[in-house]
Amino acid sequence: MKRALITGITGQDGSYLAELLLSKGYEVHGIKRRSSLFNTDRIDHLYQDPHEKGIRFKLHYGDLADATNLIRIVQEVQPDEIYNLGAMSHVKVSFDTPEYTADVDGLGTLRLLEAIRILGLTQKTRIYQASTSELYGLVQQVPQSEATPFYPRSPYAVAKLYGYWITVNYREAYNMYACNGILFNHESPLRGETFVTRKITRGVARIALGLQQKIFLGNLDARRDWGHAKDYVEAMWLMLQQDQPRDYVIATGVTTTVREFVNLAFAELGIEITFVGEGVNEVGYVAACHNLGYQLAVGQVVVAVDPAYFRPTEVELLIGDPSRAKAELGWAPRHDLSALVSDMVQADVRLFRRDTVLLEAGHPVMFHDE
Confirm whether 174 is a catalytic residue: no
Which single residue brings its beta carbon nearest to ligand NDP? 11
Contact 272, 204 (CB under 8 A): no
Return d(Cα 149, Cα 229) in angstroms, integer.
Answer: 25
Single-letter amino acid code for the residue at 309: Y
Beta carbon of residue 86, minimum distance to ligand NDP (angstroms, whole number): 3
- Residue 311 as a binder of ligand GDR (CB under 6 A): the answer is yes
- Give the span between the Cα atoms of 370 and 203, in whole angstroms: 11
- Subset of residues 96 to 115 that bind ligand NDP, contact rule: CB under 6 A: 104
Which partner in ligand NDP, ligand GDR, none is near 222 (CB below 5 to 8 A by kind)?
ligand GDR
Residue 12 binds ligand NDP, judged by CB under 6 A = yes
Let me know: does 56 contact 48? Beta carbons within 8 Å. Answer: yes
Amino acid at position 200, single letter: I
Q: Is the backbone peptide bond immediately before 143 cis, with ω within 30 degrees of 0?
A: yes
Instruction: Give every strand in the sheet of 126-132, ordered side by side.
Output: 57-61, 27-32, 3-7, 81-84, 126-132, 178-183, 248-250
Among 3, 4, 5, 14, binds ligand NDP (CB under 6 A): 14
Is 199 near ligand GDR (CB under 6 A)?
yes
Is 167 marked active-site? Answer: no
From the list ligand NDP, ligand GDR, none, partner contacted by residue 85 (C-beta under 5 to 8 A by kind): ligand NDP
Answer yes or no whether residue 64 interacts with ligand NDP by CB under 6 A: yes
Among 10, 15, 84, 89, binds ligand GDR (CB under 6 A): 89
Q: How many residues in the chain?
A: 370
> Is 224 a residue that touches ligand GDR (CB under 6 A)?
yes
Residue 39 interacts, among ligand NDP, ligand GDR, none and using kind-specific CB cut-offs from 5 to 8 Å, with: ligand NDP
Alpha helices in the chain (DSSP H): 12-23, 67-77, 91-94, 98-101, 108-118, 155-174, 196-208, 229-239, 258-267, 323-324, 337-360
**Residues in 115-174 that interact with ligand NDP by CB under 6 A:** 130, 132
Per rule CB under 6 A, count of chain residues that contact ligand NDP: 26
Cα 119–chain centre separation: 30
In whole angstroms, give the CA distance from residue 24 to residue 238. 12
Q: Is 13 in the site for ligand NDP (CB under 6 A)?
A: yes
What is the SS3 string spanning 31-42?
Answer: EECCCCCCCCHH
Tell me which of 43, 91, 204, 264 binds ligand GDR, using CB under 6 A.
91
Choose the contact partner of 142 out of ligand NDP, ligand GDR, none; CB within 5 to 8 A by kind: none
Q: How many Å apart are CA 26 and CA 10, to the nearest integer? A: 18
Give the residues lining the site for ligand GDR (CB under 6 A). 89, 91-92, 132-134, 184-185, 194-196, 199, 217-219, 222, 224, 258, 309, 311, 314-315
Catalytic residues: 132, 134, 156
Give the residues lining the site for ligand NDP (CB under 6 A). 7-8, 10-14, 31, 33, 35, 39, 63-65, 85-89, 104, 130, 132, 183, 185-186, 192
